[in-house]
Amino acid sequence: GAGVSQSPSNKVTEKGKDVELRCDPISGHTALYWYRQSLGQGLEFLIYFQGNSAPDKSGLPSDRFSAERTGGSVSTLTIQRTQQEDSAVYLCASSLDDSIFEYWHFGDGTRLSIL
């Protein structure tokens, strides 16, 4: 596809369940980012992947959050034992590389609602 693809677009689950969010970046983009946006708020950095380098996990809010990127392409963000405060829109973005000149191409996000 031409853009960053995220699935599902919406996810409703019960508190305590695990969820997996998927991101398919633009082909050829080596850098991939996950952000979280709570209702009406700014973007909170979660994690960043660049090529085969170790990911920058400095933004993950707790050890319930993890992410992986397989084959340098698709990424999954996993939230274990979900809590109501995890409700937010999770945005994935990619860029050609991690230079300061490259802008983020964002997906449409996954809206996660924890009941």
Q: Where do contacts with another protein occur on this chain (CB under 8 A)?
A: 33, 35, 41-43, 45, 48, 56, 58-59, 89, 91, 93, 98-106, 108-109
Nearer to another protein, 20 or 106 (CB): 106
**Helix (H) or strand (E) run with residue 88 in it:** strand 88-95
For 8, 33, 46, 111, the CA distances from 103, given in Å and listed in that order, are 24, 12, 17, 23
d(CA 18, CA 99): 34
CB of 43 to another protein, least distance (A): 4
Smallest distance, another protein to C-beta of residue 10, A: 12
Compare residues 35 and 65 and give the one whose CB is closer to another protein: 35
Kindly report whether the peptide bond that precedes residue 61 is cis, defined as omega within 30 degrees of 0: no
Residue 72 or 104: which CB sits closer to another protein?
104
